[in-house]
Chains A and B, each alone.
Chain A
Amino acid sequence: MKITFDWLKDHLKTNLKEKNLLEQLTNVGLEVEGVQNLSSDKELFTVAKIIKTIKHPNADRLKVCDVDVGEKKFKKVVCGAANAVEGLITVYAPPGSIIPKTKTKLVVAKIRGVTSYGMLCSESELNLSDESDGIIELSSGYKKIIGKSYFSKSKSNLIDLSITPNRPDCLGIRGIARDLAASGFGILIDFKKKKIKSNNRHSLKVKIKKEKNQGCSIFGSCVITDVKNTESPQWLKDKLISIGQKPISAIVDITNYVMFDLNRPLHAYDADKIEKGIIVRNSKLGEKFTALDNKDYKLEDGMCVISDHKGVLGLGGIIGGTRSGTELDTKNILLESAYFKPGSIRTTAKKLNLDTDAKFRFERGIDPLSIEDGLNKAAILIKEICGGKISKIDVQKIETHKTKIIKFDINLVEKVAGFKISTKEIFKILENLGFTLKKKKNFFELTVPSWRPDITQEIDIVEELVRISGYDKISIIDPIKKRKKSTLNKSQKLFHFLQRSIASKGYLEAITWSFTDSNYNDYFRDTKKEIKIVNPISTELDVLRNSIFSNLIIYMNKNLDRGFKDLSIYEIGPTFTGSKPGEQNTVVCGLSSGKKSRLSWIEKERNVDVFDVKKDVVQTLIEAGYKSEEFFIDNKTPNYYHPGKSGRLFLKKDEDLVAAYFGEIHPNIIKKIDMRTESLVGFEIFLDNLKLSVKTLNDQKNKFNVSDYQKSERDFAFIINKDVNAQDLINAIASVDKNLISNIKVFDVYEGDNIPENQKSIAISVTIQSIEKTLNDNELESINKLIIETVENKTGAKIRS
């Protein structure tokens, strides 16, 4: 909502300065978004006439114009607008002026070899509208003021307010003045209600059809005959220009003026173009009309339309149609002032993707009792400016407005706000806002003003009182440093632990979108369902991610393109399995590319490999408190991993849920996305599949129990089928005697010479130690024997002699 202090003063008597105004607007909740200084600079933009145009010698689309700017000599201006033709009256910006839209300062410049002294402006360049197609076309009436400033001489700045959706009343200048007055910033000037005094018949029949979901409940109108539509007088043009509106014609300008002044949208029809009478009704599927924005709209069932006996004239409260629009030669008009229901307006406008000043106001709620005030004010102005005869006002109603009454206990103010407002002050504030108050036994009975659809219950009254009194009256109550519940639960603790544990292994934490490119998502979707976003911001972000890999790999590739080679990144966040709330998992996903120790003078460089990520996964889980002795690993992994060089990890052998996957990314994917790296490995740890410890801190640590008796290390080499896992050997050895075997280590794996085909040799070192005594040779020997026997029986291995 754009306002000026000058316009506010039509409704507000105050001696305060603009600086105080800006502060006070913010204090009562009408946030000042910006202040534009129009006065000094905008005087430079003058009315000018194009006298002659010739084609630019070096550019087909440009013209060189001789422009009359009210000085003896014409100015040469280069202009690219198609509508820059001889005789056009437009707006000229001289060198030195600052173009409001781009905030750039004009200088005398050569454009393709021809010097241009200033420029001719479009509406958008002057921030008047979004119209950027061609330069401004002014009517012939401006001939008289060629060389004079196009903008008013008003020194008032343009103040841009952000009005919250609950305050439709402040979409009119008077509403803003009322709030300011209530807060002590001046006095609200009485609204001089001029009434139409007329006995003339209203010549057009208006009917609101009573049907289901009728969007219009009141339709007020009057007919004005024998008008002479013209340009608006300067005061009215200045007013509209001062808030960034473009004057059009007196009748349109007056309806706009009343809308901005009183928040009372009106619509003027050319009465001669209306066939028989007005019918307000629901549209039928397929009905069509051309709106004032020159677009054709095809309507659905049930949209509130204003029609005549021929068809749709306009969408009530949203936009009028060209068929009944007023023009300069319009003689008889029908002036409409109606009430449209916010919900109906919103549904229709959304379906048709339409946004207008009227729609913005009606969907927030217009004062239903302002119908006649609006007609009176506008009709009288039209008569003053355009002449004519006004008819009686006709108001059709299918519902009557019910005044809202609220019981209000004033103690609620202190209970909610923490500070007291005196009864006297409460009276003053609420009465200034337009409420009437009656004191009852323990409460007040409040009548809510008709322009405040947002106020329906006691808490709304509290807000009004606190807002107008000022939020600075709320005193600070310092918080008490007491904790009754632990800050994080176990799963949150685990989240934060894993997050930092992975980072401590050399991975940079990334945060990427929860959505991704469906093409990339498909690479890592495995068997999961694709979850489409109905309205994505781009086709590259069109699905929720089924895996974090898709995004990590996209960004990994971007970093490789930046010239980095050895990268480790990870993300901890959601992946999605369905489109219902809760169908998501928290995953830690990491990716490593390139080599370890690249170009090191001291260490041998090598590609990152599956055992690097296996280490990161296993170590992280151990750090998080899980027992590595119980881990069970096999090679069943989703299809985006290298089938031979990847694994899945369970916290225990009989666990159903996968704790983690790790491995090389499938070479086909790397090829398809054209990734240039020596090696790419990754992992996923599934937070939701990790069992949370049920132990309390007290019993998290077992009893400290170590042996100081001599330990013995024995090496074994087994020959075994290739497809038997090392894990099976280790498990077999561990099963021999849990009390005596304290450590098992694979120290060599060998295939090749001296080993039969399809077999391999695995060398294992086993540490044997008793907690009770030093073992003697016999005892050691029998354990050795038992180890060999068990391994051979359980795995089919043979000890290598």
Chain B
Amino acid sequence: MSDLKKIKDELLLKLKGKLNLSEVNKMKSDLFGKNGLVSSQFKKIGTIAETERKKFASELNVIKDELQDLINLKIKEIENEEIREKLQKEKIDITLPERPFVRGKIHPVSQTIDEISSIFSEIGFSVEEGPDVESEYNNFTALNTPENHPARDMHDTFYLDEKKERLLRTHTSPVQIRTMLKDKPPFKIIAPGRTYRSDSDQTHAPMFHQVEGLHIDKDINMGHLKGCLNYFIKEFFELDKIKMRFRPSHFPFTEPSAEVDIGYEMKDGKIVIGEGDQWLEILGCGMVHPNVLRNVKVDPIKFQGYAFGMGIDRLAMLKYGINDLRAFFDCDYRWLNHFGFDPLDVPTNYRGLSR
């Protein structure tokens, strides 16, 4: 047994030194290889007296396990050390910039259209559309604004022909006509879209966006109109309290007609919507004129309802504190980045309109 003891001691001594993986592997084969020191001890088992044999064999197995463990331990130790050294070498400056990426943005007008659609969706409106080029009839005449009516002066119109029969729609109201001609009542729609007026200065752009609303049924009155807009305005501005004022006005296609103002105040040069004592006009509305209903073959005795139209760009400006209307269409990279929305920010009812 002294042989084995000697082998073990020698091994322990060797393992204490600094070794690499191949040296340890060599030691391993020196011990356990075909003619290794431990292997040759096993060969001796047959030559040992029967009385001693059992004891010898069991002791040999114990030693063998011990030695193997020692070596494996050492191997693990070296491997760990190697990984540690490798990781040490691989350390980088993690503050270097990430790989380049680009971010897209959704235009604030598109975002606002989605917000508006989301709010009106909740109370049962669906979205309708109409073409940008309209007939003079749909844009004016059918909307109770006959040729030679001074109300046409309020709309500076772009024309596409000398006879003035084709034009760029000056409001989204012709979608009312298209919708009512296409289907049968009841109607409950909104129609957002581009509108055009030949007017251009600091506060007017030759193109802007409007959203039309139309709700026609058997018993829709001005109370419903007020309720609908009251709901919309609170939801849109995400405020519980907003002062709202209806005042009489005139549009040829609605009667009675109203303009709606909301309360605001100026704080640090910024408009704050809500309960201030100043009034800001945000939309026009009214009960659809019986003449309009007759023009689209809807019986005004049986059906009545309201319509409204509001400027989307203006709503976006108020909600997001944008001062300059012209900038919406100026396509300045910095502006688009600043006021644009992440494409993942989809306004929804359950998640809310904005973050």
Contacts and interface: CB of A to CB of B under 8 A. Distances in A.
A469 to B, nearest CB: 10
A639 B63 CA distance: 87
A416 B304 contact: yes
Nearest to B313: A511
Interface of B is mostly: mixed
Contacts of A167: 250
Contact of B104 (A503, A537, A582): A503
B343 A492 contact: no
Contact of A477 (B135, B151, B226, B344): B226
Interface in B106-132: 106-107, 109-110, 114, 117, 120-127, 129, 131-132
Contacts of A472: 246
A528 interface: no
Nearest to B256: A463
A415 B220 CA distance: 8
B106 A481 contact: no
A477 B227 contact: yes
A132 interface: no
A478 B196 CA distance: 33
A583 B101 CA distance: 39
A597 interface: yes
B311 interface: no
B248 interface: yes
A102 interface: no
B194 A514 contact: yes
A450 B36 CA distance: 129
Interface string B224-244: 111110110000000000000
A576 B199 CA distance: 22
Contacts, number: 258
Contact of B227 (A467, A478, A506, A533): A478
Contact of A581 (B131, B154, B255, B331): B131
Nearest to B250: A164
B224 A479 contact: yes
Contacts of A504: 104, 343-344
Contact of B110 (A477, A499, A562): A499
A485 B337 contact: no
Given A26-B247, A29-B249, A581-B138, A513 B332 contact: no
Interface string B201-238: 00000110000000000010111111110110000000
Interface string A578-605: 0111111000000000001100111100
B248 A581 contact: no
Nearest to B248: A29
Interface in A640-699: none
B104 A416 contact: no
A302 to B, nearest CB: 14
Contacts of B126: 485-489
A210 interface: no
B165 to A, nearest CB: 10
A624 B124 CA distance: 26
A347 interface: yes
B100 A506 contact: no
A496 B160 contact: no
Contacts of B166: 579-581
B6 interface: no
Nearest to B109: A511
Interface in A471-500: 471-472, 474-489, 492, 496, 499-500
Interface stretch (A251-259, A398-406, A454-462): A454-462
Interface string A684-720: 0000000000000000000000000000000000000
Given A476-B226, A562-B333, A534 B151 contact: no
Interface residues of B, number: 91
A463 B333 CA distance: 49
A475 B121 CA distance: 23
Contacts of A485: 124, 126, 188
B150 A28 contact: no
B202 to A, nearest CB: 14
Contact of B340 (A416, A419, A502, A508): A508
Nearest to A488: B127
Contact of A479 (B133, B164, B228, B256): B228
A532 B131 contact: no
Nearest to A28: B248
Given A29-B250, A581-B138, A597 B222 contact: no
Interface in B143-180: 148-151, 153-154, 158-162, 164, 166, 168
A507 B340 CA distance: 11
B200 interface: yes
A471 B246 contact: yes
Contact of A509 (B105, B120, B153): B105
Contacts of B258: 471
A79 B131 CA distance: 56
Nearest to B330: A555
Interface stretch (A106-114, A369-377, A567-575): A567-575
Nearest to A344: B148
Contacts of A513: 206-207, 329
A573 B194 contact: yes
Nearest to A598: B100
Interface in A341-370: 342-343, 346-347, 363-364
Contacts of B223: 417-419, 474-477
Contacts of A415: 219, 221, 304
Contacts of B162: 534
Contacts of B221: 415-418, 477
B231 A511 contact: no
B262 interface: no
A604 B134 CA distance: 51
Contact of B343 (A467, A500, A584): A500
A574 B194 contact: yes
B328 interface: yes
A474 B158 contact: no
B188 to A, nearest CB: 8
A230 B308 CA distance: 53
A167 B289 CA distance: 17
Interface in B305-355: 328-334, 336-337, 340, 343-344, 346
Contact of B148 (A343, A474, A584): A343
Given A482-B124, A506-B104, A466 B222 contact: yes
Nearest to B147: A343
A749 interface: no
A535 B336 contact: no
A508 B104 CA distance: 5
B123 A479 contact: yes
Contacts of A480: 123-124
A570 B247 CA distance: 41
A615 interface: no
Contacts of A479: 123-124, 224, 227-228, 231
Nearest to B104: A503
B137 to A, nearest CB: 10
B331 A510 contact: yes
A347 B147 CA distance: 10
A532 B160 CA distance: 6
A154 interface: no
Given A537-B199, A581-B135, 19 more contacts: A164-B250, A346-B148, A364-B150, A417-B221, A471-B247, A476-B227, A477-B221, A479-B231, A483-B121, A503-B105, A504-B104, A508-B340, A514-B132, A514-B194, A515-B207, A555-B331, A568-B104, A579-B166, A584-B132
14 contacts: A165-B250, A166-B250, A418-B223, A462-B255, A463-B257, A503-B105, A506-B104, A509-B105, A511-B328, A512-B331, A513-B207, A534-B158, A534-B161, A569-B336
10 pairs of A and B residues whose beta carbons are closest in the complex? A29-B248, A506-B102, A164-B250, A418-B223, A555-B331, A503-B104, A503-B343, A418-B221, A487-B121, A477-B223
